[in-house]
């Protein structure tokens, strides 16, 4: 059995540091923190392990050596440590069978919209389209991804792709359902990941793939709503 060490979620100051570096990446194509959170959530919940060497260019909008500037090697290592700690925060929460609450940026009115998170999640799915197809095409479980699709296409350039207008109450409901959808996807692909990890571990230790798993402090209200929703589904 694989055992994982505990790790603390990033503080507000550390999240600000993470966001600042991403914002200052050259080219303007790097993710923001909310998009990164959704992107990591999809990679972690998905059917296969995706290595940093593959997903880093998506995060930074190119090779990290070309897009990010650091004052020294220690500065770069500290930043990458924050990135991995945030990954471990999401992974650790889901691994413990707990609901992960999406990290959402509030707008000027103090209301989280959730669009960037949904975009990040769908980009994560895009890293392993074939693997996710099983869940997407499932009549029984495919609906778990609908909340992400709705917010991802809310402002789509193609009017045919846009959902009906979303009021504040409906948006809050969709965000709760995104958390439930993430949890459902993680459970759905559990056996796929175990099979993939069993093959992969022969060439790379678990410590190299996942380090310092964490428990996240979560919104109790959203967590209770999601758990109640999952209990209804089980019955």
| 4 located within any domain | no
| Domain span holding position 217 | 12-234
CB 118 within 8 A of CB 38: yes
| 2 located within any domain | no
- For the stretch 112-126, pLDDT in tens is 999 999 999 999 999
Percent of the chain with pLDDT over 70: 80
Q: Quickly state the pLDDT bin for 192 (edges 50, 70, 90).
A: confident
Query: pTM for this structure?
Result: 0.82
| 76 located within any domain | yes
| 92 located within any domain | yes
> Is residue 68 helix, strand or coil?
coil
Q: Measure the CA–CA gap between 136 and 130, rounded to whole angstroms.
A: 10
Residue 102 Cα distances to 93, 118, 179, 226, angstroms: 12, 10, 7, 12
CATH number at residue 91: 1.20.120.740
Average pLDDT over residues 148-152: 97
Q: Quickly state the pLDDT bin for 222 (edges 50, 70, 90).
A: low
- For the stretch 76-111, pLDDT in tens is 999 999 999 999 999 999 999 999 999 999 999 999
| 1 located within any domain | no
Number of domains in the chain: 1
pLDDT of res. 211: 37
| 6 located within any domain | no
Tokens representing residue 180 in the block: 């439930």
């Amino acid at each position: 059995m694989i055992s994982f060490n505990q790790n603390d979620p990033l503080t507000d100051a550390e999240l600000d540091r993470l966001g600042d570096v991403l914002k200052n990446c050259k080219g303007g194509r790097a993710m923001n923190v909310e998009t990164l959170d959704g992107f990591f959530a999809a990679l972690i919940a998905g059917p296969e392990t995706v290595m940093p060497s593959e997903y880093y260019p998506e995060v930074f909008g190119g090779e990290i050596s070309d897009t990010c500037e650091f004052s020294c090697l220690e500065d770069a290592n500290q930043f990458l440590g924050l990135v991995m700690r945030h990954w471990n925060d999401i992974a650790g929460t889901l691994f413990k069978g707990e609901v992960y609450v999406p990290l959402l940026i509030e707008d000027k009115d103090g209301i989280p919209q959730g669009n960037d998170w949904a975009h990040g999640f769908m980009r994560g799915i895009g890293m392993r389209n074939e693997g996710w197809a099983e869940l997407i095409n499932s009549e029984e479980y495919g609906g778990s991804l609908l909340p992400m699709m709705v917010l991802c296409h809310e402002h789509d350039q193609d009017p045919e792709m846009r959902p009906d207008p979303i009021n504040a109450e409906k948006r809050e409901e969709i965000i709760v359902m995104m958390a439930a959808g993430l949890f459902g996807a993680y459970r759905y692909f559990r056996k796929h990941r175990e099979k993939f990890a069993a093959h992969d571990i022969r060439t790379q230790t678990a410590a190299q793939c996942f380090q310092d798993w964490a428990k996240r402090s979560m919104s109790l209200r959203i967590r209770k709503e999601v758990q109640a929703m999952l209990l209804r589904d089980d019955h």
